[in-house]
Homo-oligomer: A and B are copies of this chain.
Amino acid sequence: MPNTHDVLFRTLADPTRRALFERLCREGEQTVGALTAQSGVSQPAVSKHLGVLRQAGLVRDRHEGRQTHYSAQLGALAPLIDWTSQMAGFWQSRFDDLEDLLKRMDQ
């Protein structure tokens, strides 16, 4: 069972899928048709990508008649932000340790 970070990174790793997400972030809600038009791949491919994005919690879908509108769910990026700052934190604390060590050696 893959964890949240796995899902997020894997989902955003594909260029065309990430492009779809970026477009939804930039331009807001879009229909599948509109997204397909500029994606460079077929409509089924877009639908599949949107499915993956939805399962990752990165997009929401809203049905209206026969068309489906998708929109970005920005909150889903939180774990990613947490992860990066955690990594930065580890680095920082090790740096602090080193600094402490050097300071103590200096005395």
Residues of B within 8 A of A5 (CB): 18
Q: Contacts A18-B5, A77-B84, A84-B81 given; indicate if A90 touches B13 (C-beta within 8 A).
A: no
- In this complex, the interface size class of chain A, counting residues with CB under 8 Å from chain B, is 20 to 34
**How many monomers of this protein are in the complex?**
2
In the bound assembly, the distance between CA atoms of A13 and B11 in angstroms comes to: 8
B-contacting 9-mer, from A22-30, A38-46, A62-70: A22-30
Does more than half of chain A's interface fall in helix, strand or loop, or is it mixed? helix
**24 A-B residue pairings within 8 Å (CB atoms):** A2-B15, A5-B18, A6-B13, A6-B18, A9-B12, A9-B13, A9-B18, A12-B13, A13-B13, A21-B87, A22-B87, A25-B90, A25-B91, A26-B90, A28-B94, A74-B88, A74-B91, A77-B84, A77-B87, A77-B88, A80-B80, A81-B81, A81-B84, A84-B84
- Chain A residues within 8 Å of B, Cβ to Cβ: 2, 5-6, 9-10, 12-13, 15, 18, 21-22, 25-26, 28, 72, 74, 77, 80-81, 84, 87-88, 90-91, 94
